[in-house]
Every structure is written in C-alpha cells, then in structure tokens.
Amino acid sequence: MINITLPDGSTKQFDHPPTGLDVARSISEGFARSCVGMQLDGLQKDLNSTIDRDCRLRLITMKDTEGLAIMRHSAAHVMAQAILRLYPEAQLTIGPVVEDGFYYDIDMPSISEEAFARIEEEMKKIVQAKLPIERREVAKPEALSFYKNEPYKLEMIQDLQDGTISLYRQGEFTDLCRGPHVPHTGFVKAFKLMKVSGAYWRADQTKAQLQRVYGTAFFDKKDLNAYLNFLEEARKRNHRRIGTALDLFSFRDEAPGMPFFHPKGMAMWNALLAYWREEHRAAGYVEIKTPLLLQRKLWERSGHWENYRENMYTAVIDESDYAIKPMNCPGGMLLFSRKHHSYRDLPVRAAEVGLVHRHELSGVLNGLFRVRAFHQDDAHIFMTPEQIQPEILGVLRLIDRIYSAFGLGFHLELSTRPAKSIGTDAQWETATNGLKAALAEYGAEYKINEGDGAFYGPKIDIHIKDALGRTWQCGTIQLDMNMPERFDLTYIGADNERHRPVMIHRVIYGSIERFFGILVEHFAGQFPLWLSPVQAGILPLNDDLLPFAQNVAARLEKAGLRTEVDQRSESLNKKVRDAQLNKIPLILTCGTKEKENGTISVRTLDGQVRQGVPMEEFEQRVLENVRQRKLLVEI
C-alpha cells in the first residue's frame, strides 16, 4: 500500500505504485489535464514518474510558476529538435530556462532573426504531433557511447560523476537533461523566438563561439500576446531612446559606462536632488562630502582592498597607492571618528551624494542601469542599540514619502543572518528584532529571506514597482556591525564607558543614474511638472509676437519655472506638435489677443485647454502645483 499525502493534508492510498498522473486522475480528469509535473518530498519529478514509497506530493499545474518553468524547459528541447531538423550539422550544448523564457547554445553557422519563421514552423509541427517526452536513465559508459559524435555533450558527461545519467527523448530527438519535462510536446502551446546572439562555450573566450537562440513560451496565446505587448511598451519606454529624443543624456566611446548629462538632463537631476535635500533636512540629516580618491591603507582597513580590489580603479601618487572610492562608507567612518561623541549626540544622520566608480565588464554595461561612474545617495546613521527601532522606522517613513512623489509603489524584504557572519548572537538578535519591531510599527507586509543578510548585519531591501509592473531594488537599509569595529568607532554612554555605535547604511534613490533611468521609463518621458526639464514651452504665433513671448518667459523664469521659447518661423500646429513630442507639460500660446489682454492660452499633454488665462492666476496655480510636487498638471 502506497500512502500519498497531498498539500491539504488529505491522503490517497494505492495498491500499486502509481505515477503522478495516476494520482492526478484520482482527483479528477479535468485536474489531470492541467498537470505538468509534480513535487515529490520537495523534489521536482516528471508527472509520469512512478511513486514507489509513502510520500508528500504536490502536483504542479499550468497555473503554477514551476509549471511554466517546466514547460519552457520542454520548449527549449522543441526548439533544439526543430533546429536539428533544419540544420543537421548543428551541435547542441545547453538549453536552460531563464527569466521570461529560455535559450539554447548551439554550435552552428551564424543565423539571423530572418530564420526564426522557418524554425517556428518546424516547432509547430513538433508541438502538433504531441510527441511523448520520455525519460531514460543510463550508465555513464552508455551515455558516452550514445553521444560519441557530439563533443559538447561528451565533455558534459565526462564532467559528471559516475552513476546513472538521464536522457529525454521526443520522437527522433534525444537530449542529455536532468528534467523534469511536460508529458508531451503538445503542452508547448504558445511560443515565439526572440533573438539570437553570440556566446562562448562555457563563457570562455578561448573556446568556440556559439549561437545563443532565445525564445519564450506560455500555456496560452493570450498570455504570449500580453507579454509581447508588454515588451513593445517597454521598448517604447526605453530610457536610452527617450533620453536621446529629449536630449537628456548620452554616452561616448571616450568614457564607456560613464554618462554625460545634457542641460535638460541636469535640470531634472537638480530637481531630484533639491527634493532629496529638502526631505533629508526635514528628517534631521546633515549633508557631508568626502574625497573621491583615498589611500590604500583606508581600503585595507575597510576590507575593500582585499575583497573588492578587482572592481576598483587605482592610481599611484607620490609613490603611494590610492583608489577611487567604489562606495562612500569608509569616508563617512573617518568623518564620524574625527571627534569624541556622547550618547547625547546620537543619532548622527550623515547623508552624502557621493560619486563612486566601479569597474564593470563592458558586456554588462546597460545605459543608465549599469554604469561605471554613478552617484549614490548614501546616508550613515550612527546610534545606540536602543535607537534601532525608531531610526529604522524613520527611514521607512522617509522612503515612503519620497517614492510617493513619483507614484512608485514598493514592497519590503527582510534578510536575516547568513551562515557566514560576524558579531555575537546577542548583537544579531538585537539588530534583527529592531528591524522587525520597526517593520511591525510601520505596518506594511514584508517577506523574510532567511539567511540572506549581509555578513555584517541584517537588512531591509525596498523593491519599487513601475508603471509596467516591473520591480526594481533601489532602496536598502542595512545594519552594520563590521565597519564600527574596523574603524574603532565609539561613543561615551550614560555609564561613562566607551561603547560601539550601531550603524545603518541606507540609500533611497540608490544609484541616482539608475533611478533617473527608471523614472524615464516609468513616466515614458512625460514627467510631472516639478520634475520636467522644460516646464513651459512658449509659442509665439508669429515673429512680431516674439518679444511678448520672451517677456512671458522672463516672468515665468523669475518665478522659478523652466521655460523654452520656440523662435522658429513655423506654423503654430507644427510648434504644438513638436512641443508635445518633447513632452513639455505646459504649452503656452502667445497671440495678439493674449498680448493685448495680458493673458495666455494653455494646453497640457493630457488634453486640457484653457484660453485667456490671466498671467497672475496661471503663475499661482502652476507654482502651487510645483511646490506640492503633484503628479498631474492642473490648469
């Protein structure tokens, strides 16, 4: 008798060893048709695997995240089978599942995306055939013999330990694979090949260059279409494309990974920092600035020279080693240690917008999202253990206020002590309980990542969600029991004895360059009025009205608005269209009637139009909108 315990606690009994499919059918035929795999005592298995012992079983369906991954793994095999039919000389390597799809690395002649239609047609034939996907376990010598003419598979098999090796067969195609897979190829219902790129075998530039063909797959064509529509919207919002169109920033070959911000980009940059400074002053922070270049002995003391050296830019000055800072923390430690502190001085909240440099490989550079030179809005808070909870709560509330100004939602994740860590059990307990108490008082739900904290302390990561529903980890709050020890930081307590301060590292924007790029894509270039690089575009109807338009611009500039006068001898319709393409939130028309009456006509990007608006009223409403940093423009 085989006893199988299901997730709801119920038990199924079988007189003979059943397969996962048998168990599914014992629940219902409809449910069985939705199943694609199973989790047997925590391990994923094929649905057709035999269950020969009492166990806990969870059947994996098309609705489960794991089910989608299993199907996409099978889709990679379907694609490989189709490619071999079309390119018999191709040699397969590996084909894993990745985020949003799968790929397969193949040694074959170069192909372009023009070949995708043929490959997809062949894939459709394989899917329509509903070929059973069957697992076979063989001894290592048999696997080596089977793949004797496939050098990449041979190399992988030789690297495996002796014992049984699993192969998966569908029709004439057999692949070396751990599995699991869907029961037959018909489960791969909706798929699309996405792109092709080069990749070195085992990421080694000395080895063969392969063709990496990417694809994606879903159980439903609606889901595939929704994903493709999402990609198209993301393409339209691409920050590099919009940044070029709006003349915000650029990159040059002379400084790879180091962005150039143009005048309009700097207008946005300064608006971001002005808001940041305003909020931090109100929250009791002081602002500091530490040097860009610091001696090697500092980086040895902080541990960066030993553990982060390959990512640092260095120089020799006066026969001494220096490094450009990859982070702001050590300089902040030096500033705190410059004088003696009493417990009455704490907490000290020191914030810095510091320029840091980190050497990233050229292949991973990605617009503003991955750069070599960037600014971090670091803050280091030095405090007593009793102040952990209120200080963490203060940071959470500050983060909430700042992200809300951009219409960004977020969720929180708490990461606890990892296996390798420093500090005593008591220190970790105090630190972790302080974070949990602050989160409880803050009142938001959060996820716990057990054992995923930094070696020097637990942390809270803040994941923002943009307009497309994508999440980005920008903010973080980290408790540190390492740096105060390394830099021998102390304060005099109420007992007149020296004590180590507890320290918080925290960022909100994170990399300001990256946050800038996220905002470009979040707003699709149509920024709130307070953040827009040009807040008001002023359009004279003809050259005679240009002086009046310039006077309007001067008045608005004096009031604190960023303006731009369109002086071209173009039609009003073209000027309006170009202002809309440039995402200018307020488009002001200056005609003869407006000049005579001292008014303006205004239109916004969302279609609001008002004519004959008195200048004083316009200024008042617009300046109040900017002051309150509203997300929408109201005229």
Pair (140, 264) in one structural domain? no
Neighbours of 11 (CB within 10 A): 10
pLDDT score of 31: 96
Pair (351, 262) in one structural domain? yes
Pair (330, 320) in one structural domain? no
Residue 507 lies in a domain: yes
Where in the sequence numbering do the catalytic residues fall?
329, 358, 376, 378, 380, 459, 505
Write down the pTM of the prediction.
Answer: 0.86
pLDDT score of 423: 81
The domain tally of the chain equals 5
Residue 214 lies in a domain: yes
Residue 164 lies in a domain: yes
pLDDT score of 483: 87
Pair (299, 415) in one structural domain? no
Structure tokens at 571: 């039609």
Pair (212, 121) in one structural domain? yes
Pair (494, 399) in one structural domain? yes
CA distance 325 to 308: 11
Q: Which of 523, 546, 573 is the last residue of a domain?
A: 523
Q: Which of 488, 523, 558 is the last residue of a domain?
A: 523
CATH number reported for the structural domain that contains residue 541 in this entry: 3.40.50.800
Three-class SS string for 514-537? HHHHHHHHHHCCCCCCCCCCCCEE
Residue 121 lies in a domain: yes
Residue 530 lies in a domain: no
Pair (515, 593) in one structural domain? no
Q: Which of 300, 324, 348 is the last residue of a domain?
A: 324
Residue 384 lies in a domain: yes
CATH number reported for the structural domain that contains residue 80 in this entry: 3.30.980.10
pLDDT score of 463: 96
CA distance 76 to 79: 5
Residue 231 lies in a domain: no
Q: Which residues pair with 320 in a beta bridge?
A: 317
Residue in the block written with tokens 């990421």: 203
Residue in the block written with tokens 């990605």: 366
Pair (278, 314) in one structural domain? no
Q: Which domain holds residue 620?
A: 536-627
pLDDT score of 307: 84
Neighbours of 120 (CB within 10 A): 15
CA distance 186 to 133: 10
Q: Spell out a b/e string for 293-330, using b for 16 or more CB atoms within 10 Å of the CB, else e.
A: ebebebbebbebbeeeeeebeeeeeeeeebbbbbbbbb
pLDDT score of 426: 86
Pair (268, 303) in one structural domain? no
Pair (43, 184) in one structural domain? no
Mean pLDDT by 10 residues, the chain (635 residues): 94 94 95 96 95 96 96 98 97 95 96 96 98 96 94 94 92 96 97 96 92 97 96 95 97 96 98 97 97 94 88 94 94 93 96 96 92 96 94 95 96 93 85 91 93 89 94 93 90 96 95 97 97 97 94 96 95 95 96 93 93 93 95 87
CATH number reported for the structural domain that contains residue 12 in this entry: 3.10.20.30
CATH number reported for the structural domain that contains residue 425 in this entry: 3.30.930.10
Pair (507, 568) in one structural domain? no
pLDDT score of 455: 81
Pair (412, 355) in one structural domain? yes
Residue 317 lies in a domain: yes
